[in-house]
Structure 1
Amino acid sequence: MYAIVEIAGHQFKVEKDQKVYVNRLSAEEGDSVEFDNVLLVGDGDNITLGAPAIDGALIGAKVVKHLKGDKVIVFKKKRRKGYRVKNGHRQYLSEIVIESITASGAKKKATSSKAEAKPKAKKETAKAAPKATAKKASGKADDLKKIEGAGPKAAEALVNAGVDTFEKLAKETPEHISEILSEASSRLAHLVTDTWPKQAQMAADGKWDELKEYQDKLDGGIEK
């Protein structure tokens, strides 16, 4: 039996006992996690397709360890401008092993995965009191687009996850920020957030000149 499941913004074809490397999850090493966004399940000649997900299908896995991926070199050059920038990036990853594939009838545990439970709880809170949340955001929310590398979509994803001020963003880890963005949209999973907490701390402290000087040394939020 095999399945196609979406995990942290990416789709994977998985089988039982298979090891998979996914974008960093917030669960601790050794924790059991479950994923219910199963798009397809195949068992011999029997194939079940979701619309888009299969109701009741569930993938059970265990977090083996957290690690970094291979270094990727990003080289930028502008002709006749003397502009040459070389950056390296290593993606934060989690190694998981697939323990079970349930085609139907499964019920996801409320606290089965920290990576899944935390965003879900925030969405439920926002749904229960939309007027109160909107009022709070409009009165105290900061313009997170001032963070180098954070565009409108990324800022919106952070606000929806409850990270709506520079002070809150400064307390987050780059791994958790990347997780929030990946869960909001697979198109945000590529963003490098290593410098975001540092930038946010400068903004929260009102050190705008220092922040501007620091951002001049960045390229898309990445240190040159």
Structure 2
Amino acid sequence: MFAIIETGGKQYRVEEGLELNVDLLKAETGDNLSIDSVLLIDKDGETKIGEPFVQGAKVECEVLGHARGKKIVVFHKLAKKDSRKTQGHRQDYTKIKVKSITA
């Protein structure tokens, strides 16, 4: 059984017991989350597709912690202007573990 959920403007394929990093959520470590934005559920070959979300479906998750991603360098250069700008960015993540999927 798997589901496709939407959080932080991105879509993720999740299964029970899966740990994944999603964009930062306002939740403390150890809290339980209920994600209602389920786009698709597949259970034993029977597929339910939402319009846009599957009604009554939710994914229960546990927050394992918060972390920051690897630093990326953003470099802008204007040719023939002798203008350069270097900037860095680190994305904040929340690590969650999927506990159950209900349809």
TM-score class, shorter-chain normalisation, is over 0.9
After superposition, what is the alpha-carbon deviation per residue over 1:165-186, rounded to whole angstroms, capped at 9, x for unaligned?
xxxxxxxxxxxxxxxxxxxxxx
Give the match for residue 60 of structure 2.
60
Distance in structure 1 (CA, Å) of the matches to 2:98 and 2:55: 19
| Higher RCO (Cα < 8 Å, 6 or more apart) | 2
- Displaced runs of 4 or more, over 4 A: none
Q: Tell me the equivalent position of 2:14.
A: 14
Partner of 1:70: 70
Larger radius of gyration: 1
Q: Distance in 2 between matches of 1:91 and 1:26?
A: 15
* Counterpart for residue 48 of structure 2: 48
- Normalising by the residue count of structure 1, what TM-score does the alignment of the two structures yield? 0.45
- Number of residue pairs matched? 103
| Root-mean-square deviation (Å) | 0.8
Distance 2:21 2:12 in 1: 10
**1:100 — aligned with what?**
100
Aligned ranges 1:190-205 → 2 under 5 Å: none
Q: Residue in 1 aligned with 2:35?
A: 35
Equivalent runs, 1:144-159 vs 2, <5 Å: none
Higher mean C-alpha displacement, 93-102 vs 40-49: 40-49
Report the Cα distance in structure 1 between the residues aligned to 2:30 and 2:73, rounded to whole angstroms.
Answer: 32
Shift of 1:7: 1.3
Tell me how far 1:44 sits from its aligned partner.
Answer: 2.8
Give structure 2 stretches of 5+ with no counterpart: none
Deviations 1:116-140 (A, max 9, x none): xxxxxxxxxxxxxxxxxxxxxxxxx
* Offset, 1:77: 0.6
- Which has more strand, going by share of residues? 2
Q: Distance in 2 between matches of 1:96 and 1:14?
A: 11
AA matched with 2:56 = G
- TM-score norm. by structure 2 comes to 0.96
Whose helix fraction is larger, Structure 1's or Structure 2's?
1
Which residue is equivalent to 1:89?
89
State the match for 2:2 in structure 1: 2
Work out the CA distance in 2 between the residues paired with 1:7 and 1:44: 25
- Consecutive unaligned residues of structure 1, counting only runs of 5 or more, are 104-224
Identity across matched positions, percent: 39
